[in-house]
Amino acid sequence: MNIHPTAVIDADAEIDATVKIGAYTVIEKGAVIGAQTEIGPHTVISGFTAIGQRNRIGSFATIGPPPQDLTYKNEPTRVEIGDDNLIREYVSIHRGTAHGRQLTSIGNGNMIMAYSHIAHDCRVGSHVIMANCATLGGHVQIDDHANLGGMVAIHQFSRIGCHAYIGGMSGISKDVPPFVIVSGIRNKLRITGINRVGLQRCGYDKETIRLVHNAFVYIFRTPGLLLKEALAKSADEFADCEPVMTMINFFKAPNRMGVLRRVDDE
């Protein structure tokens, strides 16, 4: 185990022998850290926090502190982080709340850039990118391969669909469907198309991307077509296309904030 002599490690923390820990880092009781993870200087890992393998955590990160929630009474809630994540400097990730999921979870292969914040009870999937200063309110769900630009702010309880791309400095107060590109602030949000480049980078073939685009036109671009009609038409025509069905099912899932649909959401 490669631990800097200035690091402060609780005797009850469970740390794999291959973990590297930088200067002045503090790891408290309840932490579990998997193999080949590297933790930079001045990082604090507290509470009941489980971190998987091969993660790289930058300096001054704070993982597992109490949630910023007035109802929190020091319940033993948790943070769970998967494998192969890059968590850069000054990132903060807070544990869950007793009235929420009791868990803040992050999947695998994510890139969480400097100064980003993941609040209590959030659920971040895998291969998500959060650019500098991106902020998630409590209870937010981010699905796989979503991409959040710098200084994006996501309102609590919102959902961001898989492969969605949110432009920098956007303020999101509604659910964002899968595969779309969105930018703007609250009542000035604009959906500008599908995330074609992101889909290509993830290996989707041209035909699948074409079908996703065609369904997008029905759902978002066809004047006078009610949402129920657009979803039914897309399901009938593209039933064999899994990504299209993912988009349709996203609209059908229960939601608290409403799903962003129009080009200009007013």
∠ CA 129-130-133, rounded to 5°: 160
> Phi/psi of residue 148, each to 5°?
-110, 125
Confirm whether 174 is domain-assigned. no
Confirm whether 193 is domain-assigned. no
243 in the same domain as 114 = no
120 in the same domain as 27 = yes
10 in the same domain as 127 = yes
11 in the same domain as 135 = yes
The lowest-confidence range among 31-40, 48-57, 142-151, 250-259 is: 250-259
Q: Which residues does the annotation mark as catalytic? A: 120-121, 138
Give the burial string for 157-173 (b: 16+ CB within 10 Å, else e): bbbbbbbbbbbeebbbb
6 in the same domain as 137 = yes
Would you state the pLDDT for residue 266? 39
Report which residue type is found at 69.
Answer: D
103 in the same domain as 37 = yes
Q: How many domains does the chain have?
A: 2
217 in the same domain as 131 = no
59-70 pLDDT, tens digit per residue, is 999 999 999 999
80-110 pLDDT, tens digit per residue, is 999 999 999 999 999 999 999 999 999 999 9
Dihedral through CA 71, CA 77, CA 83, CA 88, nearest 10? 40
Confirm whether 158 is domain-assigned. no
The lowest-confidence range among 46-55, 140-149, 200-209, 251-260 is: 251-260
138-180 pLDDT, tens digit per residue, is 999 999 999 999 999 999 999 999 999 999 999 999 999 999 9
216 in the same domain as 126 = no
Using DSSP, how many helices (H) and how many strands (E) does the chain show? 4, 28
Instruction: Give the strand pairing for 92-93 and 20-21.
Output: unpaired
Confirm whether 78 is domain-assigned. yes
The lowest-confidence range among 33-42, 121-130, 185-194, 224-233 is: 185-194
Average pLDDT over residues 204-224: 96
Report which residue type is found at 111.
Answer: M
125 in the same domain as 52 = yes
User: 59 near 11, Cβ under 8 Å?
Assistant: no
171-203 pLDDT, tens digit per residue, is 999 999 999 999 998 778 899 999 999 999 999
Confirm whether 178 is domain-assigned. no
Would you state the pLDDT for residue 256? 84
> Phi/psi of residue 27, each to 5°?
-125, 120
Domain boundary, last residue among 142, 161, 183: 142
Confirm whether 180 is domain-assigned. no
Tell me the two tokens of residue 213: 């685009």
20 in the same domain as 87 = yes
Would you state the pLDDT for residue 150? 98
pLDDT over threshold 60, residue 264: no
Average pLDDT over residues 3-32: 97
pLDDT over threshold 80, residue 263: no
According to DSSP, the residues that pair with 129 across neighbouring strands are: 111, 147
| Confidence label for 255 from pLDDT (cuts 50, 70 and 90) | confident
3-state secondary structure of 57: strand
Tell me, what CATH number does 17's domain have?
A: 2.160.10.10
Q: Which range of residues forms the domain containing residue 20?
A: 2-142
Domain boundary, last residue among 108, 142, 176: 142
| Confidence label for 111 from pLDDT (cuts 50, 70 and 90) | very high
Would you state the pLDDT for residue 136? 98
Confirm whether 189 is domain-assigned. no
What is the separation, in whole angstroms, between the first and last Cα of the chain?
Answer: 56
Domain boundary, last residue among 116, 142, 168: 142
Across the chain, what does the average pLDDT equal?
A: 96
Confirm whether 67 is domain-assigned. yes
202 in the same domain as 138 = no
205 in the same domain as 78 = no
Tell me, what CATH number does 245's domain have?
A: 1.20.1180
Distances in Å between the alpha carbon of 64 and those of 110, 165, 233?
A: 17, 27, 45
Report which residue type is found at 34.
Answer: G
Distances in Å between the alpha carbon of 163 and those of 125, 160, 244, 249, 253?
A: 11, 9, 12, 15, 17
pLDDT over threshold 50, residue 265: no
pLDDT over threshold 90, residue 1: no
